[in-house]
Amino acid sequence: MTTADEYRLLGFADADREAAEAFTPDPTVVKNLADQIRAEIGKLGQEPKLTMPDDPRNSVQAFLDTLPDIRRYHQERGIPDDISWASLADLGQQLKVSRRTHGEYSLETHWWVTIAWTGQLYALGRLQYLLHQVPADNPVPGTEPGEWIIGVHIPETGPLTPALVDDSLAQAREFFPRYFPEFPVKTANLWSWLIDPYLLDNLPQDSNMVRFGRRFTPYGEPTDSQDGAIFFTFRRHGTEHLDELPQDTTLQRLVVNRIKSGGTWQSAFGYLHL
């Protein structure tokens, strides 16, 4: 049984902790996913191939049931407790995002949480990092096929100030050689609509978002990400109700006005050398 302290360390809001405790899981479904998670822990470099339940609340229970397993893996690697818990606290963060989006206890991104739960994603200060290999179909300039790199991810946990980003990158430079020495990394990459050139050119150039995006050198071909821009800005899906969306910030107005004018937001690729 998950303790109150574990719920706190996993970042659960009170409403989500109470809902998790009140939920009656399907024991067969939960055991099936939990067994799959245990089998994938420590298999680095590939997205876990798991069959996710139709009801993501069962996924949450499977994550709670396998908490001792992923914690043991972190301890065997020597990963400090604060980094271990900060990385796993993405579960609570994703529950908060789902509640804000849907107004109830749910986990829209339960597939995403499996990446942290199998030992591939680590929170180091403001940013998260995914240990993976250079994809053959979209090579990163300056790297070799199969080379290990770290993918940068941006949780919704506060501002992207230059000082916080500098600190996080400095932590990454020390963390991976120390705790994953068999997977040497020299490069970080990012795939995000936050480095869409249109965004970087049309927000104030001294904004945290632009200063963050300019750190990365573009490469590869962008992919359309219209719904991604809507979701990450407003926590809603679809473009059918643009006039109902708040227009309180420069970013909100930019996202909506581009779509209304016939433009398409894209997720671009970028890299930086560590």
Give the strand pairing for 266-273 and 127-133: unpaired
Q: For each successive 10 residues of the chain (274 residues), what is the average pLDDT?
A: 96 98 98 98 89 97 98 98 98 95 93 96 98 89 91 92 98 97 95 93 94 95 88 85 90 92 93 94
Q: What does residue 32 show for φ and ψ, rounded to 5 degrees?
A: -60, -45
pLDDT at 273: 94
pLDDT at 170: 97
pLDDT at 226: 86
The C-alpha atoms of residue 79 and residue 75 are separated, in whole angstroms, by 6
The three-point CA angle 236-240-242 to 5° equals: 70
Closest residue by Cα to residue 142 from 191, 189, 91, 81: 189
Q: Is-contact 99 12, C-beta < 8 A? A: no
The C-alpha atoms of residue 67 and residue 117 are separated, in whole angstroms, by 8
pLDDT at 2: 95
SS3 call for 100: helix
pLDDT at 202: 95
Tokens of 119: 């030992």
pLDDT at 135: 83
pLDDT at 70: 98
Q: What does residue 62 show for φ and ψ, rounded to 5 degrees?
A: -65, -40
135 Cβ neighbours under 8 A, 6+ residues apart: none
CATH number belonging to the domain at 125-274, selected among 3.40.720.10, 3.40.640.10, 3.40.630.120, 3.40.47.10? 3.40.630.120
pLDDT at 227: 85
Q: Where in the chain is the domain with CATH 3.40.630.120?
A: 125-274
pLDDT at 32: 98
